[in-house]
């Protein structure tokens, strides 16, 4: 199967291409335009197609074993079908998405020791994957919404926008710290969920997903067979989408989850004693759980040039159980401002985050090192991250985000040197 190979510099190449295209093509939302009217005709009939590529090119000026460059990227082929228009199945839609990731992880390449990598788009194998394959239907005039099939949990629970380049500030943060059973895209799991709108602003959402580690393997990117299930993941979320003052929109959600899949304790043996001291295997615990809060709020309308214009902020916090999680909590907050002067779609972003290593894991590492007399770095604290970017909307279909990241105590250890990464995130809509 075709496997894209992208080389440096993606952003510069895309910008040169944008400059070479006629002005009419530069102002469209997609590089390839309307395909002579075919795209619009398909949408009118209920078929919406989307093709995009995200590139994240990064270079560490400090931290790790040396300074080096790494590129990572993702190609997305997305399709949504309005089955009401196509077949008369009112209020029903079908979605199918394929993704392919490529490139390298700077964190691994130069040994940055970060808990959460600087290039969020890297990971889960340089392969094609089924990221969406589901059927959805609305009941009771849209007050009840259900969908079932292959789903990414983070698309519907603990959802956070992905404007930033670091994993610390991008996507469902729950998956960043318990990614062995809660999967964000590009991985999907068989599952189903229902959303009940109690008022136009207040909803309750619940879901059930299979926990199947085989889908994380590089050999199972296109697998449909559900064999390999070891448990179920059940998340629940209560959400509120208010409007304040002069129609300033917000989103606030409080959620939690339980997984029945077995998971290894990070400290205790089968008897509940320190495994490092007894020499017994770490215990396998049945079930894992946790909770989260996510909030996003618009503070101003800015110049009013678009729905996104103005100042917005977000706050996200996740706490998982300390028996089994090597990372037990994370918190991040940030601000974005869209509509800078005459640049209606340009955006500034700034975020701060802390990712905490479970103290029980640190105790286990410390005991093992003491017994073996090996001076190995112990993870026992938080990794602190700050990131800033400027998003330059070159055209309707091309955005370049020069990016700067600084990480203190990578890996949750003061023994690891601080990391500085400079890079650019490029988003292209074909």
- Could you tell me the mean pLDDT of each successive run of 10 residues in the chain, 430 residues long? 48 64 68 93 96 96 96 97 96 97 96 95 92 97 97 92 92 87 91 97 97 87 86 97 93 97 92 90 92 96 84 96 92 95 92 94 85 70 96 94 97 93 96
Please give the backbone phi and psi of residue 29, each rounded to the nearest 5 degrees, phi first: -80, -15
pLDDT at 216: 86
Domain ranges of the chain: 10-429
At 102 the pLDDT is: 95
116 alpha-carbon distance from chain centroid: 11
Per-residue model confidence as pLDDT tens digits over 130-145: 999 999 999 999 999 9
**What pLDDT does 8 receive?**
46
Given a contact cutoff of 8 angstroms between Cβ atoms, the answer to whether 425 and 403 are in contact is yes
Q: Which residue has the tokens 């199918």?
A: 96
Query: Measured between alpha carbons, how far is 422 from 119 in angstroms, rounded to an integer?
Result: 11
Cα 194–chain centre separation: 21
Distance of alpha carbon 19 from alpha carbon 395, whole angstroms: 9
- Kindly tell me the burial class for residue 312, based on how many C-beta atoms sit within 10 Å of its own C-beta (0-12, 13-18, 19 or more): buried
pLDDT in tens, 235-286: 999 999 999 988 999 999 999 999 999 999 999 999 999 988 898 999 999 8
CA neighbor of 400 nearest in space, from 409, 391, 387, 408: 391
Q: Are 192 and 148 spatial neighbours (Cβ–Cβ below 8 Å)?
A: yes
Main-chain dihedrals φ then ψ at residue 199, nearest 5 degrees: -140, 175
**What global pTM score does this model have?**
0.91
Predicted pLDDT at 366: 85
For residue 364, what pLDDT is reported? 87
Structure tokens at 138: 């609305």
- Looking at residue 4, its pLDDT comes to 42
| CA-to-CA separations, 192 to 99, 146, 181, in angstroms, rounded | 21, 7, 16
The neighbour count for residue 426, using CB atoms within 10 Å, is 23
Q: 10-429 — its CATH code?
A: 2.40.160.180
């Amino acid at each position: 199967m075709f496997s894209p190979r992208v080389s440096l510099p993606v952003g510069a190449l895309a910008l040169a291409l944008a400059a070479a295209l006629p002005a009419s093509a530069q102002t469209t939302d997609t590089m390839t335009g309307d395909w002579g009217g075919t795209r619009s005709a398909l949408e009118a009939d209920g078929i919406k197609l989307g093709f995009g590529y995200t590139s994240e090119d990064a270079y560490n000026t400090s931290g790790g074993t040396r300074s080096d460059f790494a590129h990572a990227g993702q190609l997305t082929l997305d399709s949504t079908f309005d089955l009401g228009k196509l077949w008369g199945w009112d209020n029903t839609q079908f979605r199918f998405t394929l993704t392919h990731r490529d490139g390298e992880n700077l964190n691994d390449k130069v040994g940055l020791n970060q808990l959460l990598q600087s290039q969020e788009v890297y990971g889960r194998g340089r392969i094609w994957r089924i990221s969406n394959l589901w059927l959805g239907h609305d009941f009771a005039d849209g007050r009840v919404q259900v969908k079932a099939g292959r789903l990414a949990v983070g698309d519907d629970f603990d959802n956070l926008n992905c404007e930033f380049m670091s994993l610390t500030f991008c996507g469902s943060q729950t998956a960043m710290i318990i990614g062995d059973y809660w999967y964000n895209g590009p991985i999907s799991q068989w599952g189903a969920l229902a959303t009940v709108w109690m008022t136009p602003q207040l909803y309750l959402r619940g879901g059930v997903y299979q926990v199947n580690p085989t889908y994380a393997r590089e050999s199972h990117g296109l697998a449909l067979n559900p064999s390999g299930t070891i448990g179920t993941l059940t998340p629940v979320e209560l959400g509120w989408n208010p409007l304040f003052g002069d129609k300033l929109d917000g989103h606030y959600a409080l959620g939690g989850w339980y997984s029945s899949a077995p998971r290894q304790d990070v400290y205790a043996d089968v008897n509940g004693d320190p495994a490092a001291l007894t020499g017994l295997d770490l215990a396998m615990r049945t079930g894992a759980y946790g909770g989260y809060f996510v909030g996003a709020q618009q503070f101003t309308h800015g110049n009013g040039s678009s729905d996104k214009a103005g100042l917005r902020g977000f706050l996200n916090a996740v706490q998982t159980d300390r028996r089994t999680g090597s990372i037990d909590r994370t918190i991040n907050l940030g601000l974005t401002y869209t509509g800078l002067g005459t640049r209606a779609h340009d955006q500034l972003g700034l975020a701060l985050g802390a990712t905490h290593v479970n103290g029980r894991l640190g105790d286990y590492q410390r005991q093992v090192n003491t017994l073996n007399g090996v001076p190995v770095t112990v993870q026992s604290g938080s990794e602190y991250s700050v990131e800033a970017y400027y998003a330059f909307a070159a055209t309707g279909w091309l955005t370049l985000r020069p990016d700067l990241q600084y990480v203190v105590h990578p890996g949750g250890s003061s023994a690891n040197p601080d990391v500085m990464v400079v890079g650019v995130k490029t988003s292209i809509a074909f």
